[in-house]
Amino acid sequence: MKKDQEIFNLIDAEQKRQEEGIELIASENFVSKQVMDAMGSCLTNKYAEGLPFKRYYGGCEIVDQVEDIARERLKELFGAAWANVQPHSGAQANAAVMLAVLKAGDKILGLDLSNGGHLTHGSPVNFSGKIYEACFYTVNNDGLIDMDSVEEIALKEKPQLIICGASAYSRDWDYARFRKIADKVGALLLADISHPSGLIASGLLNNPLPHCHIVTSTTHKTLRGPRGGVIMMGEDFDNPWGLKTPKGVIRKMSAILDSGVFPGTQGGPLEHVIASKAVAFGEALSDDYKTYCEQVIKNAQAMANAFNEKGYDIISGGTDNHLMLIDLRNKNISGKKAENTLGLADITVNKNMVPKDDKSPFVTSGIRVGVAAVTSRGLKESDMQKIVDWIDQVITNPENETLIHSIKRDINAFMKGFKLYA
């Protein structure tokens, strides 16, 4: 068969872009070679609707073992009693949970998107805001979540589901306090830990599993695995609605969540991706991975300090995890302009709304910056200062093409000293 040169040339170009540039997208990371090899394996050929050892297709005896290993490793990693590794993404994990535990029109309470929340936590343009009635909590003037305000809103709105978690919030979460609020209003509590999951698994941030009824995550951010999602519980429990099996047995929440994934929101699971997840979970159980996560936090805090020293407005003033949200209004440049101009220098960030943003989501007043990917390349704290110096030069001289091209050359030469794959 003739090689599809058009596509493989583009893949080679993307490989070059990743190798030569500085990747600061907080949602991205670089997987190991074995994680990538598992994802590109023959398991992509196998259809396997259903759960391990309970499939609707024959020939699943090997992928059953693969998926079971993935579940067991994930449970060990987080101290979970139950896990489903089939969601194709974090968004689909959240969709499966909501389909399983809510009725159309039920009320959900999550962090407002413009304050660092996620689309699937109730945004009106997303399924979560179209099917369910969404209400929101926000951050205060210090950029921190005001838990008294969360409780006040919950008592007023009486949501059926409360969501803690974000896509652009740089501080740790008080899951125990959220659980007290949820219990007060009779709500289920969902933690979406898609961003800090690897740091949580390493014991460096609070673990939601002992406090939240249900936990979802992606696998491709700080967990450093393939693109995908998971659902977990710290303990299984009888569903609160008294739903029963055809034989009259009360259904466990695990069974309800499983059915929310399949047949609720997905067909056959992607067993090649699940194999890749299993490999990544195995890596995350190692001492080397904890050392990596410790370096992620050191790098993020070093970067935040460097930005602060140059007068950048970091929402909440700093970071506890791998990312930071930067309000650029005092630098007289929009998030869109900053993203595009930094891209010319091979520094990749994403524009992001900030609290009380006066610009549209297509322009924004801020950027989101994360260090998980550059840490995977082997960069350390001193390198964060160098990166911030480059970012500052570009942002303060966005029309100086000569300077930007010079910085790009410096960056490309600098990044040659760091391997892309561990």
Residue 16 near residue 253, CB atoms below 8 Å: no
| E strand or H helix that includes residue 110 | strand 107-111
> Do 28 and 223 form a contact (C-beta atoms < 8 A)?
no
Which one, of 340, 12, 149, 296, lies nearest residue 136 by Cα?
Answer: 149
pLDDT of residue 245: 82
User: Of 71, 227, 277, 377, which residue is the catalytic one?
Assistant: 227
Amino acid of residue 153: I
Residue 144 tokens, joined: 């921190």
Is it true that 34-284 and 288-415 share their CATH fold? no
Q: How far is CA 52 from CA 48, 60, 65, 75, 230, in A?
A: 8, 8, 7, 16, 15
Q: Are strands 22-23 and 347-348 parallel, antiparallel or unpaired?
A: parallel
Out of 23, 192, 271, 313, the active site residue is 192
Q: Are 101 and 188 in contact (CB under 8 A)?
A: yes
Q: What six digits make up the tokens of 335?
A: 């998030």
What pLDDT sits at residue 422? 57
Is there a contact between 377 and 366 (Cβ–Cβ < 8 Å)? no
Residue 100 is inside which H or E element, if any?
A: helix 90-101
| Cα–Cα nearest to 187, from 139, 124, 135 | 135
Determine whether 14 is an active site residue.
no
Domain ranges of the chain: 34-284, 288-415
pTM of the model: 0.96
Find out whether 354 and 366 touch, Cβ atoms under 8 Å: yes
CA neighbor of 209 nearest in space, from 218, 201, 199, 219: 201
Secondary structure of 362-406 in HEC code, one letter for each residue? CCCCEEEEECHHHHHHCCCHHHHHHHHHHHHHHHHCCCCHHHHHH
Q: 274 burial class (0-12, 13-18, 19+ CB within 10 angstroms)?
A: buried
List average pLDDT for each run of 10 residues in the chain, which is 422 residues long.
95 96 98 97 97 96 98 98 98 98 98 94 95 97 96 98 97 98 98 98 98 98 98 96 86 96 97 98 97 98 98 97 98 98 98 95 97 98 98 97 98 94 64
Structure confidence at residue 244 (pLDDT):
87
The predicted structure's pLDDT at residue 412: 97
- Asked if 338 and 378 touch (Cβ cutoff 8 Å), the reply is no
Q: Catalytic residue among 28, 47, 298, 386, which?
A: 47
What is the Cα–Cα distance from 13 to 11, expressed in whole angstroms? 5
- Decide if 192 is catalytic: yes
Distances (CA, A) of 334 to 4, 88, 357: 40, 33, 11
User: What was the pLDDT predicted at 420?
Assistant: 85
Assess whether 47 carries a catalytic annotation.
yes
Active-site residue (options: 120, 218, 319, 348): 218
Amino acid 247: pLDDT: 83
Residues 165-218 pLDDT 10s: 999 999 999 999 999 999 999 999 999 999 999 999 999 999 999 999 999 999
Phi/psi at 57 (5° precision): -130, 155
Cα(61)–Cα(410) distance, integer angstroms: 52
Cα torsion 47, 48, 50, 55: sign? positive
Q: Which CATH fold would you assign to the domain 288-415?
A: Aspartate Aminotransferase, domain 1 (3.90.1150)
Angle at CA of residue 161, ends 158 and 163, nearest 5°: 115
What is the distance between the alpha carbons of residues 321 and 301, in angstroms, rounded to a whole number?
8
Q: Is 157 a catalytic residue?
A: no
Out of 49, 68, 133, 410, the active site residue is 49
- Domain 34-284 bears CATH identifier 1.20.1070.10: no
How far lies 121's CA from each of 81, 113, 129, 162, 178, in Å? 25, 8, 8, 9, 15
Burial state string for 358-371 with b = 16 or more CB within 10 A and e = fewer than 16: ebeeeebbbbbbbb
| Catalytic choice (221, 224, 351, 377) | 221
What are the tens digits of pLDDT across the range 80-100? 999 999 999 999 999 999 999
